[in-house]
Amino acid sequence: MIRPLATAALLSALLASTASAQGETWVAVASDGAGLWGAGVGMATREAAEASAIGQCGVYCRLKFTALANCVAYAFSDTGRAEGFGAAPTQQAASQQAWSECNANVPANSCTVRTAQCFQ
């Protein structure tokens, strides 16, 4: 029996190799708004990035962010249930965007970057 997450990981790997050949990559983030998340990075198409993010996050998640970029980041605040997303050429820039967006919606800088990934 093939597990859904294993299938999503295999599909992601196959699609990522196609993305590098084409020169542009898509990223996406899905979340449940309560701390669960999934990220699709380095995909050849928007649809593939979105499917990868949803596949990693699970059935209770919704697509929250999609962009044409090499790196993506997701920040979350347990205190205020706020989220932030970032896409940029570097992991540091994507992380800063996500952290800033998240903290704009909660007091006292309570957000943390949960993931920051780049396609190499």
The secondary structure of 35-94, three-state, reads CCEEEEEEECCHHHHHHHHHHHHCCCCEEEEEEECCEEEEEEECCCCEEEEEEECCHHHH
CA atoms lying within 13 Å on the CB side of residue 30 = 19
pLDDT in tens, 40-69: 999 999 999 999 999 999 989 999 999 999
pLDDT in tens, 74-94: 999 988 789 999 999 999 999
The model carries a pTM of 0.79
